[in-house]
Structure 1
């Protein structure tokens, strides 16, 4: 069976999946043995390898069950997790749409500490990353079928002693259903209140219980049409913050737009020779509006097949087997690619020359544009300030990504004695990514196509004989409709990228009771000890055009690398009294990349009364650098860079000024203009790559959680928990901020100043503006965060039905990032992505066949920047957001349930953020990780189980 557009390796794995499903069905009967009449129930608790029926975690665990999954109409794991106050979307369809390598991803982060510090497990076993090896690390939640998830356990706090690297912020463990019986079918459709963003989801699950186990199979398809920026009023026009009264403070959000326009901009003119006019009205301005073309939420199509088998082999041994395949197709659209003829094609900024004479070149001679340039004293294209153009003739630009994830996991458990058991777990996972980018231009061919001569028939041809043989056709990028279809055929360059991420994990554990108890009133000491081998591999290969920098898209190098680790770990559960127990864990790992690492955890449980239990844990946690941190060839970034040379003149003192003036292009500009003051275009066009570094070391964290659980006897059904957490990460791995790179470099002693900043900075040889600032990963920061999690749940009978009310809240006290080298601290608590208060209220009422579920979500009022100095308080202040979701369901038959729901019932609109705001996400004019982008959404569906 072949899937269109899928890679060959993905097709093979898909076929293997189907074969394995068939084998599983046969094996379930072949290995079924009569189970023991009496079995000690062992409950696996996230955060420990010790399985005990009465085990209670020393760290807080938030649990989402099936009523939570169904209550909000979630069709994707990320839809559900993003509603938990301690969880933040790390990379979503909104936040990644401007990144080709990450478009269409859905990853998740606890405590806003990043996906790479949040470990995602399925049934307690690691899951392979779905993020491009050149762009980062994180499990793509699109690849995990929600239909077979029984519950989700979210365990916060450092968990590296139990699970190894990456569990700095905590663990998200998806528990699959183990005993599905019968046939289940679900179909759901949805649409926004604007009659767009259509969604559909179809799932089929088959399962059977037999005498000693269960086998199941599930398959599904879902699609989401996504949104363009132009589909919503708040994002239809790209806006910037401007200073309207000249007092140096940005005070007004208005359209500014881009100088790269469809008809071309040459100096102060458009391609037809008329003056370029910029106004704050998009209808009258000549500037380009990005949001006519950009995606806001990437459309996706997803298919999955999954199967599981668990059975008792005999009285003393059990086995479990899971296999799944998922494929996600997404397409992200961008504005037509920008072209700067002088610098992109002829490389003036690096010492090249156009060789185009305004008076004689056919594209200028005798034209209104050429005459105006000559009247301005410009005789050569080298001397024009701007030669910008949008290549709209090349069609819509976009990134098409196909990600295929295949994973197989199995476990075998054998009872060595009645109290001690051996477990062997293994998993192999692989994610293939194939990316196609269209709408780009071959810059080498463009140079030939602009070097032209008369063809003898009243027209023009490319001057180079070989180029003509290869199909060279002249083109005119300086005017509208200046690129013929034949020229597009010659110049167009669709680029591609392919990559693979592989993960292999084998874990062997011996666990159980030691047979010793401190008294008859408590259980025996529990223990676990084991070893684990893990190997992570990744590669990413851009096509030769991208690797060679021959196209306008950012140059990307190949990524290839791997590391492995062997861990040894041990745990103890020590019941001292009925009212007190301790948990201890230690893990020692030997990494091929960074050497030896040690983690430990110490926690306690103190049920001092039937109504009150105290708990707490202190731990160290470690994140070793992943494949991307170590080996990434690079992902493009256009994040804003502040050039320390901007504003320097001959009177400015200090190392920075002296080093800036040592660059001839900057000094020449000061001599001519009085100062080196960058234009808006120059400020916004510093590109760069984020790359890995083999010298990066592990980061370490100290974590503390301390809490209490109150279950009053006087009010049956009520439970309240409050937990304080404090996390400090030292030597935090990140790509060095590109502004920091410039500041460090230019602050050096002038006698030791390197103008290329060790090869990371490229400046325009004529204007002095920074064209590229590249950043490698390093151990840059100290991150400190603390706060309180509050959970309240109440269940009771009401009016003949069952009522459930739950509150989940996070109070953020601190989130500080301190630069290790500079000592400067950013205090982020209270900024948009770090609200001081975030909570959900969930209410469910069931009366016979009827259920209603309501959820209220609150995001506190925030600031864009706590240290704001350049924007009015009105623009910097962000209002709170409240969302209401409602769902009704009714069992029309014992086997059939109908449901209908609405999310964002009151059509809460997001706060507008301009391009100058710190947290604005490209293509949204807001922030899709914090605020709802779609508006009101309706959905309806049917569930059948027989």
Structure 2
């Protein structure tokens, strides 16, 4: 929304049936095929362990998404697809990094957030190996750089995985497994479009591979192309100003009648005293008198106590600052994979990837508060010039030398809308040697190099010095409008080549002047990652064998180095443009690690113990930044009978601070701060806010009962402050446990139930509050003696916030728990093969404590208005039903989420009549999808489908919740496989 500049922030995340359906996700890792209980189970290396074992023996809950399920979803964006999973529902998708939402360099990113604990706490792997980050300073991987058509499956593992993979996986791991030994040629094409005729997507994938040297080697190459068209906010009629309703102060309840709601819906909401033509105030009473073109200013219906908004009138509609709903994006990916058996016991493998992505999003125009315009400006209409109040400017500015004039507040739509055009190039290479010593002993060494380069263009980035020179206009001796600096060498600023810009009206400026004022600022970032690792794994065979089998083990060492560099455009560094100032930053760290695992199969095929095994893992790490850390895990699997398996884990995981949190240089920033001590805000915080605000203001000699900065224009402008990293940060530590059961009833072949409880608690969590949050945290703690108050500076005379300093610190904690549920049933009949699958999640708690002793912020079941995709439904599920007969497959999918609270518990506790109780809840999510495919031949398949069949829309007050604003979405395509059946 308006009043927010773009500034650098770090966003603030068994195989499924091949007959899965559009909303299909996947079951918990458990064999569903009744034949699996009769035949020997193959031992493989699975996500979450380096020991070869069958998935039924693994203790961590794993959910697997098959490549076929992805293809049948109709989605070509991995984050969009995975975000349907209850575990990943908080992920950052492309629409959440569009318009005015993203920070510097973030447009178009697709980042996974497991368990609502943040993208930097979700470890993303490719074939069990780390992948370079897509965002400077962060560990978050942009999954847009991972190919979709080359995927074999995606595994999602819950629980601390630091003992196996190192830092970052405190909430779990998402592992993308690529296809191996690809032979033949596959071509897939797909086109998609919304029911409103926009949001087009074009997708094409070409994959070819061959075996050589009599099958000892294989090489495959894959190319993917995808392009998405922009969808603008006002392309959806229900989001246009006259149709969109937002909450504002009930004008019939200014005296806070307990029987009336404090806030009610209004449409056509506008920013008071600001207009595209210019809002002109001639008497400095901060009530606009004229539009810039000389027309009388229609102030509309003033919404008192609403933070400066009106309904109707001449002012700027708030929706004018929304920008894109979905960014324009384009993606090219090339992947090369190969392996060669150098001997029966030695294999060389290599991977190379190049990804080039581009995302371009339109955001918002620049705006100005209270520009002083003097009457010698020839563009000023006579009616405005004649209405100037002599001496008003000098009185207001408390400076007798201030010339007479007017103040103009303007939204500069005619100057050009700001946007961000980001091009990312990702390179990644893997070289590995795998060998076997014997049938039960193997080793592996590998080297991984990854690099992401970003070229970030801030489009129409206003140069502040040129802007101020261009709007300071006078007449030259020939009666022509010119910049004052062209005549007066003492003018400030004095710039050569200045072209006069007319701000009195809309689209009355010279386009050449707009071109002179604006610039496209080009910045660059680079992230690199190097990983060298070696491991030895196997089992002890007959040497030391337990009743349940041989003891499995793995051990090894790893070295990793990460670097990040960010070089903003010089004009952004200098702070002379609309975006900025942003300081160049660089940082790096390395870590040396030793790790080990063991699996003890205690019993098998015994009475009351069909299977009993214990496991453990340990990792010792030495960081160049935080020093030594330890991670560990213990687990157990117990199957009293073949059809019932109990499993559980307990682990300690760590997350080391990322480069941005550690090394970001101190920079200047500007934030719009809502003062929590304002009388209108006292009930919107903790139970201690009112008392703390009273103590704080009394110390300054200010009456808390009369403190209303929201009614004072000077107090509601942008506040200057600083932000930066903190090199004294330490690691976060998480304790996690899971406990579950898998049921495969013998009396119902093909039916599997998996239930797993998880509990994750993070201590010493790193928290970087925004300026408004910092002000709130200062007074929402048990006392004013807390680390946040030191970051807020108040004017000793007025009490207004006049400065702030924000930086990360290990002061927070998180706690989340819940239940993952999976029900899967398949049956073959004479009329076809049926599959019914239900994947669900129950969120029991999601709690955040900002600092020790602070009140618990419990977000369970909430979807706060104006949040950036942050919502926490208590229940979420997907239901998939499919039927296949011969070449025909028909499928139906339902993606559902429970109702959520529109307002936080803290808000309603302090103000029970905050709004009409009918608005307290946000509607459920009901997303119906259908899909169909037909195999024309064994090599050619055609398919089509509709997502969001009933064209469900976002809830009142939201643009993307509980469902995307894209609406009903059609897709169709074909797949040709020259190396085998298309299916």
- Please state which band the TM-score falls in when normalised by the shorter chain: 0.7 to 0.9
1:564 is aligned to 2:590: yes
Displacement after TM superposition at 1:75 (Å):
1.2
Counterparts in 2 of 1:747 and 1:213: CA distance versus 1, 3 Å: closer
After TM superposition, list the pairs within 5 Å mapping 1:301-700 onto structure 2.
301-340=330-369, 342=371, 358=374, 360-362=375-377, 367-374=382-389, 377-378=392-393, 382=397, 387-451=408-472, 454-459=475-480, 460-463=482-485, 464-465=488-489, 470-481=496-507, 483-515=509-541, 521-578=547-604, 579-633=611-665, 641-647=673-679, 656-657=693-694, 659-660=696-697, 676-678=709-711, 683=716, 685=718, 691-700=724-733
Residue 950 of structure 2 aligns to a residue in which SS? coil
The aligned residue for residue 271 of structure 2 is: 258
Which whole-Å deviations, capped at 9, do the CAs of 1:865-898 have from their partners, x for residues lacking one? 2332333333331010111111100011110000
**CA distance in 1: counterparts of 2:830 and 2:722, whole angstroms:** 62
More moved, 722-731 vs 409-418:
409-418
- Unaligned 5+ segments in structure 2 are 1-40, 257-261, 282-287, 303-309, 399-404, 605-610, 682-688, 864-870, 979-983
Residue 164 of structure 2 aligns to a residue in which SS? helix
Residue 446 of structure 1 aligns to a residue in which SS? helix
After TM superposition, list the pairs within 5 Å mapping 1:156-305 onto structure 2.
156-210=158-212, 211-237=215-241, 239-244=245-250, 245-247=252-254, 248=256, 249-259=262-272, 260-267=274-281, 268-269=288-289, 270-273=291-294, 274-279=296-301, 284-291=313-320, 294-305=323-334
The aligned residue for residue 57 of structure 1 is: 58
Residue 927 of structure 1 aligns to a residue in which SS? coil
Counterparts in 2 of 1:819 and 1:896: CA distance versus 1, 3 Å: same
Which whole-Å deviations, capped at 9, do the CAs of 1:171-211 have from their partners, x for residues lacking one? 11111000211110000001001111111101111011331
The aligned residue for residue 850 of structure 1 is: 888
**CA distance in 2: counterparts of 1:429 and 1:722, whole angstroms:** 37
**CA distance in 1: counterparts of 2:759 and 2:781, whole angstroms:** 36
Displacement after TM superposition at 1:637 (Å):
8.8
The aligned residue for residue 939 of structure 1 is: 971
**CA distance in 1: counterparts of 2:60 and 2:553, whole angstroms:** 18
Displacement after TM superposition at 1:399 (Å):
0.7
CA contact (8 A) 1:475 1:483 kept: yes
Residue 257 of structure 1 aligns to a residue in which SS? strand
Which whole-Å deviations, capped at 9, do the CAs of 1:219-259 have from their partners, x for residues lacking one? 12111113111011232226531122225411224332224
CA contact (8 A) 1:290 1:335 kept: no
Residue 86 of structure 1 aligns to a residue in which SS? helix
The aligned residue for residue 306 of structure 2 is: none
CA contact (8 A) 1:338 1:391 kept: yes
**CA distance in 2: counterparts of 1:635 and 1:882, whole angstroms:** 44
> What's the C-alpha RMSD, in Å, of the aligned pairs?
3.3
Which whole-Å deviations, capped at 9, do the CAs of 1:625-656 have from their partners, x for residues lacking one? 0112212358999887431342499xx99764
Which whole-Å deviations, capped at 9, do the CAs of 1:96-117 have from their partners, x for residues lacking one? 2222421111111111111111
Displacement after TM superposition at 1:506 (Å):
1.1
**CA distance in 1: counterparts of 2:362 and 2:826, whole angstroms:** 47
CA contact (8 A) 2:673 2:772 kept: yes
**CA distance in 1: counterparts of 2:943 and 2:160, whole angstroms:** 39
Residue 389 of structure 2 aligns to a residue in which SS? helix
Residue 263 of structure 2 aligns to a residue in which SS? coil
After TM superposition, list the pairs within 5 Å mapping 1:547-946 onto structure 2.
547-578=573-604, 579-633=611-665, 641-647=673-679, 656-657=693-694, 659-660=696-697, 676-678=709-711, 683=716, 685=718, 691-743=724-776, 770=801, 773-832=804-863, 833-864=871-902, 865-867=904-906, 868=908, 869=911, 870-913=914-957, 925-928=958-961, 930-946=962-978
Counterparts in 2 of 1:42 and 1:747: CA distance versus 1, 3 Å: closer
TM normalised by structure 1 equals 0.86
**CA distance in 1: counterparts of 2:353 and 2:767, whole angstroms:** 32
The aligned residue for residue 76 of structure 1 is: 77
**CA distance in 1: counterparts of 2:356 and 2:552, whole angstroms:** 42
Displacement after TM superposition at 1:320 (Å):
2.2
Displacement after TM superposition at 1:766 (Å):
11
CA contact (8 A) 1:137 1:626 kept: yes
Counterparts in 2 of 1:799 and 1:338: CA distance versus 1, 3 Å: farther
Counterparts in 2 of 1:125 and 1:529: CA distance versus 1, 3 Å: same
- Unaligned 5+ segments in structure 1 are 1-39, 343-353, 914-924
CA contact (8 A) 2:447 2:532 kept: yes
The aligned residue for residue 351 of structure 1 is: none
CA contact (8 A) 2:269 2:312 kept: no
Residue 94 of structure 1 aligns to a residue in which SS? helix
**CA distance in 2: counterparts of 1:214 and 1:700, whole angstroms:** 43
Which whole-Å deviations, capped at 9, do the CAs of 1:421-451 have from their partners, x for residues lacking one? 1111221111111111122322223333455
**CA distance in 1: counterparts of 2:228 and 2:889, whole angstroms:** 27
Counterparts in 2 of 1:392 and 1:54: CA distance versus 1, 3 Å: closer
Which whole-Å deviations, capped at 9, do the CAs of 1:505-558 have from their partners, x for residues lacking one? 111101111235776752210111111111111111111222222122232222
Displacement after TM superposition at 1:74 (Å):
2.1
Counterparts in 2 of 1:548 and 1:772: CA distance versus 1, 3 Å: farther
Counterparts in 2 of 1:933 and 1:113: CA distance versus 1, 3 Å: same
CA contact (8 A) 2:899 2:924 kept: yes
CA contact (8 A) 1:365 1:371 kept: no
Displacement after TM superposition at 1:373 (Å):
3.9
Counterparts in 2 of 1:444 and 1:335: CA distance versus 1, 3 Å: same
1:116 is aligned to 2:132: no
The aligned residue for residue 684 of structure 2 is: none
Counterparts in 2 of 1:791 and 1:271: CA distance versus 1, 3 Å: same
**CA distance in 1: counterparts of 2:781 and 2:178, whole angstroms:** 56
**CA distance in 2: counterparts of 1:634 and 1:482, whole angstroms:** 40
Counterparts in 2 of 1:229 and 1:765: CA distance versus 1, 3 Å: farther
Q: How many residues align?
A: 871
